[in-house]
Amino acid sequence: MLRPIGVVRNPVKEPQPPGFDWGAVKSEILVRPELADGLLGLESYSHVTVLFWPHLVPAEVIGSKHRLHPRDDPENPLQGILATRSQIRFNPILVTAVPLLSVRGNTVRVRGLDAVDGTPVLDIKPYFPHFDSIPDARVAEWATRGREPAKKG
């Protein structure tokens, strides 16, 4: 049983299509007031990793696909859901590393968090380059191509 530690507040009110530029979106994570003391020292980091629950994904969609074309682009090869970063997961827990802008009271300000307003936050962790970055990591070929989905029509 998980209990969110906070909630995302930003101007994005509904899910966005693949290719949306989340990099420009500034968000506030409002941590439950009784947990605010757990933020002590977080401001000394440049980046944080945020784990969150995509609450607007309908229950009937969660785990409904075992395979898909990443980014909804048929040019990308069919992949198992666990080989993608899709929100349609068996347990829809998402994770994003983002720049930390500030910590004040129970409010954590970040940029680039790909979560809509009202998204429950499960955890926030400091980003440690020597643990969280793997310079020689390999990714699938399709993941290195442009981020724009193919035009439909």
Comparing 64 with 147, the larger pLDDT belongs to 64
CA 28/CA 9 separation, integer angstroms: 5
Closest to 19 in 3D by CA, of 150, 109, 153, 133: 150
CA 95/CA 24 separation, integer angstroms: 18
For the domain made up of 6-143, the CATH class stated in words is mainly beta
CA 2/CA 56 separation, integer angstroms: 17
The pLDDT of residue 124 is: 98
Longest dimension (CA), the chain: 52
In this structure, the dihedral spanned by the alpha carbons of residues 85, 86, 92 and 93, taken in order and rounded to 10 degrees, is 30
Express each pLDDT in 111-121 by its tens digit.
Answer: 999 999 999 99
Name the residue ranges covered by the structural domains of the chain.
6-143
Express each pLDDT in 2-56 by its tens digit.
Answer: 899 999 999 999 988 878 899 999 999 999 999 999 999 999 999 999 999 999 8
For residue 152, what pLDDT band results from cuts at 50, 70 and 90?
very low
Closest to 109 in 3D by CA, of 34, 6, 26, 11: 26
pTM of the predicted model as reported, rounded to 2 decimal places = 0.86
Express each pLDDT in 84-121 by its tens digit.
Answer: 888 888 888 999 999 999 999 999 999 999 999 999 99
What is the percent of the chain with per-residue pLDDT over 70, rounded to a whole number? 95
